[in-house]
């Protein structure tokens, strides 16, 4: 059988292709490669289609061994084409070179970026060089033992796989890679020696490092046996001068350098020589000095008690520091004047780079012109060193004196802040954590720093603020009244809390259509201790508010200025106040920029501009989860933001099991108008009737007013009410409260007497909060009711509305830790039973009870009566019918708006 075979070199694949136009390779591969071990007798020679031909592929080494020793089965006669015969001839030549070790590394190939092999004699054809090099490299990679040996050779002689350099010839290259057997027993290196005295000349030496002992000999001294390698040493010196021309002088290597040249050698020449494969020896200290940065240090001279506010300038002594050496400003100036570059000071070497010197001088000049403020001190010392190794070239290292170190320690840890004595004008008892909160506010006030009290809801931010105001009034000379800005829905609450806890505090509420303006406002404001107004009026009545230098400006629910660009937030920031305080349980609701906005009100500029804050913190943290930026921001804000939560171990020990809190809300204009109308009409009717008719009118009036206090739409029986939030401050307050509860991951029960009100609340909360809100009332089937309770207890939903009659007794709802009485049932026993749905055996959390009361209305007046008249206790008051026994005059007093 005769077979015609052809072969080609595939340059792109670096492989040989053998094929026949007569038959498929599967018919001849096993016979043709019958004796070829490298392809495992043809098994490892893959069949491929190249163009219109189908054949087998061989690697360069497989092809070399195959063509050098062609041996096929006697059953077949192979007729090779001319190209294949040429491959066979070249293969025999290459194999002969390999066997006779007539080959060597290819220097030209290495200079072109690859390691290759060439014969010791010139090749007949360029392809022979290509094939030889590819085949030997292929052989090394395919043989396991050979590959390991080659890897060891590369590790010993790294220049084999190193980048090519123009500063080496073939002779030195072969020596460096270990090919030349006449390799010197030493390495030629260049060494720079420091002068014995500062300002002396630096010496440059050629040294020989014994490859066996690592002993160093200074050339031209050397053992006699090494003299035969003198030409090798001379070539090395010439090569150094080629790499760094300025090291040569009249054809010879320089032996001395001045200070400036020595620095140039250390900074520039060492890199150039090392990259060219030259061994360079420099003083051991250079690596440390090279890394050392020239820093401006400012040592605080001022006392911490002598500065007030973040913008207060601080006195400093200036120092220049590097490598453990500190120079006074005068010493540094003298060295710069002398144009010193490498200076030995107290046995330590210092590098003075001209570019760095210019930068340091510029930095010091600017710092002296602008001054260093307390903000600069705190920004650096509070942040300390995070894991971030970023070096800020613009930074000045600030060194604190004892006074400032003590101040910073107190700012970092509230436990180090001194206690203040709360005056007797404060009618209340502070829990330990609340006392620390007041201590903290007074501490910040004395330093001129604003603070954000961000305690959890229910931990008493209001009472801490009132204790602070009582202390300030009693102990400090004030510049003017305090200003409290809060949501309209809590103005009444603040009024009540002031009356209860600090009755000596004179309060003016700047709100409503009859509020004063201009001189009237100024006169009223200056004659009182505290002015309370709303966020909307802070913008609308800005001219009035801006006319007073406030002693304190406090923002309650400070997240209302989270958007720094609103007219409201901009107006509030422009108000002048000696001390600024923000109260909020949620300093960040969605974005970090909200925190910046609050801080920009408290301490303008402390966290930089909004753009700078976005770049340094917001973007890295929000987009990349940057832990280092988070840690740094936490350290910066911690002294000015105090947050305690109900889950804090120390706080939990101070908390009662249950806290009952009254939430006061004013009427809207619409509600007030309707309220007066109902009262007037009802009182007129009462004058004309008695007995059961009179009792009926009173109960009807009571019910109408309670509905109206909840929402006008409830009283007017609107089927599709609009502007639900805007028409009732009680609803507005509920939405804010439930939003905070859910942001804290907590659950709540909401009780109301009215089914339509429950449905309105359910629709409102589910729409605004985008979560499931369930309403249980008297018409709820028992099975559905049981499922609701089980789902709530299992955490499947977190807002549960209940009608007081249907859900007030018999239920176990301990998954809730907030109970909200949206409207009042004037029987304490009934309300307590409802509260006990959450506050009962099995409850492991602190329970917060919120009782909503509309100020100036029947709700507030009956609540006051229940509080003051102990005779009307739970045994006597079992319903609201007792109201019907009051005289017309008493009813007029009870129902009329106040």
pLDDT attached to residue 765: 96
pLDDT attached to residue 668: 92
Name 126's Cβ contacts closer than 8 Å, sequence gap at least 6: none
For residue range 657-675, list pLDDT tens digits in order: 778 889 999 999 999 999 9
Q: Residue 637 half-sphere exposure, CB side, CA atoms within 13 Å? A: 26
Distance of CA 645 to the CA centre of its chain: 22
Name 355's Cβ contacts closer than 8 Å, sequence gap at least 6: none
Domain count, the chain: 6
Indicate the pLDDT class of residue 763, thresholds 50, 70 and 90: very high
Closest to 585 in 3D by CA, of 799, 749, 736, 443: 736
Q: What angle do CA 847, 848, 851 make, to 5 degrees?
A: 135
Greater confidence (299 vs 391) lies with 299
pLDDT attached to residue 387: 41
pLDDT attached to residue 392: 46
| pLDDT mean over 280-295 | 75
The token pair at 332 is: 């540094």
- Does any domain span residue 463? yes
For residue range 448-460, list pLDDT tens digits in order: 889 999 998 878 8
Q: Are residues 876 and 822 in the same domain?
A: yes
| pLDDT mean over 763-780 | 93
pLDDT attached to residue 785: 86
| pLDDT mean over 747-774 | 95
Name 486's Cβ contacts closer than 8 Å, sequence gap at least 6: 494, 532, 533, 534, 535, 555, 556, 557
Indicate the pLDDT class of residue 876, thresholds 50, 70 and 90: very low
Q: Is the pLDDT of residue 656 over 80?
A: no
Q: What percent of the chain has pLDDT over 90?
A: 36
The SS3 call for residue 843 is: coil
The token pair at 142 is: 């395919």
Q: Of the ranges 108-112, 128-132, 268-272, 670-674, which one carries the lowest mean pLDDT score?
A: 108-112
Greater confidence (371 vs 87) lies with 87
Pairing of strands 507-509, 530-534: parallel
| pLDDT mean over 626-636 | 88
The token pair at 717 is: 């029986």
- d(Cα 827, Cα 866) in Å, to the nearest integer? 9
- Does any domain span residue 376? yes
| pLDDT mean over 59-67 | 90
Distance of CA 336 to the CA centre of its chain: 41
pLDDT attached to residue 871: 41
| pLDDT mean over 15-43 | 87
Distance of CA 773 to the CA centre of its chain: 34
- Does any domain span residue 13? yes
Instruction: Find where tokens 């390799």 sit.
Output: 183
Q: Is the pLDDT of residue 305 over 60?
A: no
pLDDT attached to residue 419: 92
- Boundary-marking domain end, from 377, 394, 411: 411
Give the CATH number, domain containing residue 882. 3.40.50.300
Q: Are residues 222 and 324 in the same domain?
A: no
Give the CATH number, domain containing residue 555. 3.40.50.10810
Q: Are residues 279 and 317 in the same domain?
A: no
pLDDT attached to residue 79: 87
- Does any domain span residue 166? no
For residue range 216-240, list pLDDT tens digits in order: 999 999 999 898 889 889 988 988 9
pLDDT attached to residue 185: 87
Greater confidence (461 vs 392) lies with 461
Instruction: Find where tokens 């508010």 sit.
Output: 545
Handedness of CA 104, 109, 110, 115 (dihedral sign): negative
Q: What is the pTM of this model?
A: 0.59
Indicate the pLDDT class of residue 327, thresholds 50, 70 and 90: confident
The SS3 call for residue 724 is: coil
For residue range 584-619, list pLDDT tens digits in order: 988 887 788 999 999 999 988 888 899 999 998 999
The token pair at 654 is: 């101070």
Q: Are residues 746 and 886 in the same domain?
A: yes
pLDDT attached to residue 389: 40
Greater confidence (43 vs 147) lies with 43
Instruction: Find where tokens 């055996």 sit.
Output: 841
- Boundary-marking domain end, from 591, 612, 644: 644
Q: Are residues 405 and 420 in the same domain?
A: no
Q: Are residues 248 and 370 in the same domain?
A: no
pLDDT attached to residue 165: 62
Name 855's Cβ contacts closer than 8 Å, sequence gap at least 6: 492, 495, 496, 664, 665, 666, 667
pLDDT attached to residue 573: 93
Indicate the pLDDT class of residue 652, thresholds 50, 70 and 90: low
pLDDT attached to residue 133: 81
- Boundary-marking domain end, from 359, 385, 411: 411
Q: Of the ranges 341-355, 490-504, 864-878, which one carries the lowest mean pLDDT score?
A: 864-878
The whole-chain average pLDDT of the chain stands at 83
- Does any domain span residue 649? no
Q: Are residues 189 and 259 in the same domain?
A: yes
Q: Is the pLDDT of residue 772 over 70?
A: yes
Q: Are residues 564 and 669 in the same domain?
A: no
The SS3 call for residue 699 is: helix
Q: Of the ranges 5-19, 206-220, 297-311, which one carries the lowest mean pLDDT score?
A: 297-311
- d(Cα 62, Cα 57) in Å, to the nearest integer? 9
Q: Is the pLDDT of residue 310 over 70?
A: no
- Does any domain span residue 30? yes
| pLDDT mean over 627-656 | 81
For residue range 474-533, list pLDDT tens digits in order: 998 887 999 999 988 888 889 989 999 999 999 999 998 889 999 999 999 999 999 999
Longest dimension (CA), the chain: 139
Handedness of CA 84, 85, 88, 93 (dihedral sign): negative
Greater confidence (785 vs 179) lies with 785
- Does any domain span residue 165? no
Q: Is the pLDDT of residue 406 over 50?
A: yes
Q: Are residues 328 and 260 in the same domain?
A: no
- Does any domain span residue 650? no
The token pair at 41 is: 């007798």
Indicate the pLDDT class of residue 213, thresholds 50, 70 and 90: very high
Q: What angle do CA 652, 653, 656 make, to 5 degrees?
A: 75
Q: Are residues 303 and 427 in the same domain?
A: no
For residue range 700-718, list pLDDT tens digits in order: 999 999 999 999 999 999 9
| pLDDT mean over 360-375 | 63
Distances in whole angstroms, Cα of residue 500 to Cα of each of 481, 556, 657: 20, 18, 22
Residue 255 lies in domain: 184-283
Q: Are residues 389 and 437 in the same domain?
A: no
Q: Are residues 193 and 264 in the same domain?
A: yes
């Amino acid at each position: 059988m005769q077979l015609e075979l052809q072969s080609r070199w595939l340059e792109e694949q670096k492989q040989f292709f053998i094929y026949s136009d007569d038959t498929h390779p599967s018919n001849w591969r096993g016979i043709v490669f019958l004796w070829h071990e490298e392809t495992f007798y043809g098994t490892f020679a893959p069949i491929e289609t190249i163009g219109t031909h189908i054949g087998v592929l061989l690697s360069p080494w497989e092809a070399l061994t195959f063509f050098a020793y062609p041996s096929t089965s006697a059953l077949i006669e192979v007729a090779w084409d001319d190209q294949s015969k040429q491959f066979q001839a070249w293969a025999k030549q290459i194999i002969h070179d390999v066997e006779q070790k007539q080959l060597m590394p290819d220097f030209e190939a290495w200079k072109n970026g690859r390691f290759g092999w060439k014969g010791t004699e010139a090749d007949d054809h360029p392809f022979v060089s290509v094939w030889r090099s590819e085949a030997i490299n292929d052989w090394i990679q395919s043989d396991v033992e050979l590959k390991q040996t080659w890897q060891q050779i590369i590790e010993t002689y790294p220049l084999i796989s190193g980048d090519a350099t123009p500063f080496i010839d073939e002779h030195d290259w072969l020596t460096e890679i270990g090919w030349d057997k006449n390799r010197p027993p030493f390495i030629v290196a260049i060494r720079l020696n420091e002068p014995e005295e500062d300002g002396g000349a630096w010496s440059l030496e050629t040294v020989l490092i014994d490859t066996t002992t690592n002993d160093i000999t200074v050339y031209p001294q050397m053992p006699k046996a090494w003299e035969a390698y003198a030409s090798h040493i001379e070539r090395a010196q010439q090569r150094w001068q080629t790499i760094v021309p300025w090291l040569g002088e009249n054809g010879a290597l320089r032996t001395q350098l001045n200070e400036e040249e020595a620095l140039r050698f250390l900074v520039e020449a060492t890199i150039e020589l090392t990259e060219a494969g030259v061994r360079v020896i420099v003083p051991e200290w250079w690596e440390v000095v090279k890394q050392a940065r020239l820093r401006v240090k400012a040592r605080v001279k001022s006392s911490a008690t002598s500065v007030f506010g973040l913008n207060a300038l601080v006195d400093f002594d200036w120092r220049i520091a590097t490598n453990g050496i500190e120079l006074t400003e005068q010493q540094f100036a003298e060295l710069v004047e002398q144009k010193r570059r490498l200076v030995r000071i107290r046995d330590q070497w210092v590098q003075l780079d001209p570019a760095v010197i210019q930068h340091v001088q510029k930095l010091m000049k600017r710092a002296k012109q602008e001054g260093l403020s307390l903000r600069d001190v705190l920004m650096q010392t509070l942040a300390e060193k995070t894991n971030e190794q970023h070096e800020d070239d613009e930074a000045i290292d600030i060194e604190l004196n004892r006074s400032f170190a003590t101040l910073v320690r107190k700012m970092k840890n509230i436990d180090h802040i001194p206690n203040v004595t709360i005056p007797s004008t404060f009618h209340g008892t502070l829990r330990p954590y609340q006392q620390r909160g007041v201590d903290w506010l007074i501490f910040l006030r004395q330093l001129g720093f604003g603070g954000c009290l961000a305690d959890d809801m229910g931990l008493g931010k209001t009472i801490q603020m009132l204790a602070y105001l009582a202390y300030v009034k009693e102990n400090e000379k004030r510049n003017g009244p305090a200003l409290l800005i809060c949501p309209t829905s809590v103005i009444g609450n603040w009024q009540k809390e002031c009356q209860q806890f600090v009755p000596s505090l004179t309060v003016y509420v700047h709100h409503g259509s009859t509020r004063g303006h201009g001189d009237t406002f100024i006169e009223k404001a200056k004659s009182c201790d505290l002015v309370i107004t709303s966020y909307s009026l802070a913008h609308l009545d800005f001219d009035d508010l801006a006319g007073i230098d406030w002693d304190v400006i406090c923002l309650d629910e400070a997240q209302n200025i989270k958007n720094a660009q609103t007219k409201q937030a901009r107006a509030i920031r422009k108000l002048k106040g000696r001390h600024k305080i923000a109260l909020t349980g949620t300093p960040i609701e969605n974005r970090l920029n909200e925190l910046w906005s609050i801080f920009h009100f408290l301490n303008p500029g402390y966290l930089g501009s909004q753009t700078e804050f976005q770049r340094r913190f917001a973007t890295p943290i929000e987009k990349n989860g940057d832990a280092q930026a988070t840690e740094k921001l936490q350290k910066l804000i911690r002294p000015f933001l105090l947050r305690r939560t109900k889950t804090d171990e120390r706080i939990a020990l101070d908390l009662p099991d249950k806290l009952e809190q009254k939430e006061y809300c004013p009427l809207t204009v619409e509600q007030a108008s309707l309220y007066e109308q109902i009262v007037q009409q009802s009182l007129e009717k009462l004058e004309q009737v008695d007995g059961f008719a009179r009792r009926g009118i009173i109960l009807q009036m009571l019910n109408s007013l309670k509905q109206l206090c909840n929402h006008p739409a409830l009283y007017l029986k609107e089927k599709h009410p609009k502007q639900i939030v805007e028409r009732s401050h009680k609803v507005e307050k509920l939405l804010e409260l439930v939003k905070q509860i859910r942001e804290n991951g907590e659950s709540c029960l909401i009780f109301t007497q009215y089914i339509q009100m429950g449905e309105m609340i359910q629709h409102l909360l589910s729409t605004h909060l985008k979560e499931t809100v369930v309403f249980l009332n008297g018409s709820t089937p028992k099975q559905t009711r049981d499922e609701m309770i089980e789902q709530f207890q299992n955490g499947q939903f977190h807002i549960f509305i209940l009608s007081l009659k249907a859900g007030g007794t018999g239920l176990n709802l301990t998954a809730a830790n907030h109970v909200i009485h949206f409207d009042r049932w004037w029987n304490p026993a009934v309300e307590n039973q409802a509260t006990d749905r959450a506050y009962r055996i099995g409850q492991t959390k602190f329970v917060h009870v919120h009782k909503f009361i509309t100020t100036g209305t029947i709700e507030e007046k009956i609540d006051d009566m229940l509080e003051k008249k102990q005779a009307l206790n739970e045994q006597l008051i079992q319903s609201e019918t007792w109201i019907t026994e009051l005289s017309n005059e008493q009813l007029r007093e009870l129902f009329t708006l106040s």
